[in-house]
Structures are given as structure tokens and as C-alpha cells.
């Protein structure tokens, strides 16, 4: 009995790590669903058309096609930017550090691999096509988010430095 109680604290950090990784796993599952027939161009077109015509009542069919294409590509970019955020969040796992190059590199590689696997998956769906160009858009979204996170980590560090300088100045007075 006492052995079980002593081993309990060792398992808690693993449970805590799972909590940090759960959003990533759920988002990856969502991406898998986005890659099915349910989210094919034919199935998303109706909603995009309704919104587009509501915003722009005089829209021509060619203009609508361009908007629909752009919305779908922006979707790729955004979905993988969010994946990048959640991956980085999982690697960070509550650390007080804002940025580690290793976290960024791991995130970059996983986003790239998942983007390629996602397009490969789409090549088996009859209403979808796999495209290396979409993988590049996906990776661009992931890199964009990493740049945002890196920039924010720098700004946080500058704020901390300013606070340190102010604290140091007040201690010297």
C-alpha cells in the first residue's frame, strides 16, 4: 500500500503533461476530419456563397470562385497556425521559459510532416485532391505562428529587462 502512495507523485507530472498535449491531439483529430469529404470544396461552397453574396450582393460567379478559393487557402494557413500554437504549447508544458529553439524546431518539423500526411490522406478521398502546394501553405501558417510566438517571447523579455532595470535603479537609490 505504501509503495502505491509513494509512486503516485511520479505519475502526476505525466498526467499534467497529457493535459498540455490534449488540445494538440484534439486539433490534429479536427484536421483529419477537415480532410474528409465533409469539408470538400463542393460541401463548403454553399456556405461561402451565402456569406459572400450577403456581404457583396452584386458578386459575379468568377468573383465568388476566387473568394471561395481564397477562403479555402486561408483555412489551410489558419488551421496549421493553430496547430503550431498547440504544439508549441505542448512542448512548453507550463515552463516559465517563453521560447526554446528546440521547441520551435520540433513544432516546425511536426507541422511539416502532418501537413504532408494530411495531403496524402486527402489523395484517398474521392472529392479531395492532395497538393504539395497546400502543404506549403500549411507549413507557412505554422511558421507564421512560430514567428509570432518568438516575437512575443522577445517582447516579454524586453519588458522583463525594463522591469529589472527599474528595480535595480530603485534599489540603488
Give the span between the Cα atoms of 94 and 92, in whole angstroms.
6
Question: What DSSP element (H or E) covers 59?
Answer: none
Give the span between the Cα atoms of 115 and 137, in whole angstroms.
9
Give the span between the Cα atoms of 74 and 138, in whole angstroms.
9
Question: Whole-model pTM above 0.85?
Answer: no
Helix (H, G, I), strand (E, B), or coil: what is residue 153? helix
State mean pLDDT over 14-33.
Answer: 91
Q: Does residue 68 contact residue 48 with C-beta atoms inside 8 Å?
A: yes
Residue 128: band (very low, low, confident or very high) from pLDDT cuts 50, 70, 90: confident
Domain count, the chain: 1
The pLDDT of residue 8: 47
Give the span between the Cα atoms of 168 and 24, in whole angstroms.
40
* Domain range for 155: 2-172
The pLDDT of residue 173: 63
| Cα three-residue angle 152-158-159, rounded to 5 degrees | 90
Amino acid at each position: 500500500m505504501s509503495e502505491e502512495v509513494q509512486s503516485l507523485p511520479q505519475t502526476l507530472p505525466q498526467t499534467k503533461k497529457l493535459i498540455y498535449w490534449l488540445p494538440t491531439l484534439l486539433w490534429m483529430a479536427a484536421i483529419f476530419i477537415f480532410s474528409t469529404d465533409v469539408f470538400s470544396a463542393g460541401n463548403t461552397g454553399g456556405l461561402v456563397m451565402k456569406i459572400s453574396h450577403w456581404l457583396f450582393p452584386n458578386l459575379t460567379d468568377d468573383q465568388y470562385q476566387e473568394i471561395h478559393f481564397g477562403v479555402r487557402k486561408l483555412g489551410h494557413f489558419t488551421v496549421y497556425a493553430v496547430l503550431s500554437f498547440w504544439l508549441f504549447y505542448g512542448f512548453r508544458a507550463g515552463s516559465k521559459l517563453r521560447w526554446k529553439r528546440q521547441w520551435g524546431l520540433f513544432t516546425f518539423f511536426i507541422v511539416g510532416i502532418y501537413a504532408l500526411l494530411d495531403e496524402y490522406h486527402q489523395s484517398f478521398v474521392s472529392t479531395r485532391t492532395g497538393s504539395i502546394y497546400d502543404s506549403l501553405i500549411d507549413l507557412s501558417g505554422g511558421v507564421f505562428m512560430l514567428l509570432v510566438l518568438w516575437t512575443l517571447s522577445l517582447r516579454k523579455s524586453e519588458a522583463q529587462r525594463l522591469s529589472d532595470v527599474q528595480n535595480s535603479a530603485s534599489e540603488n537609490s
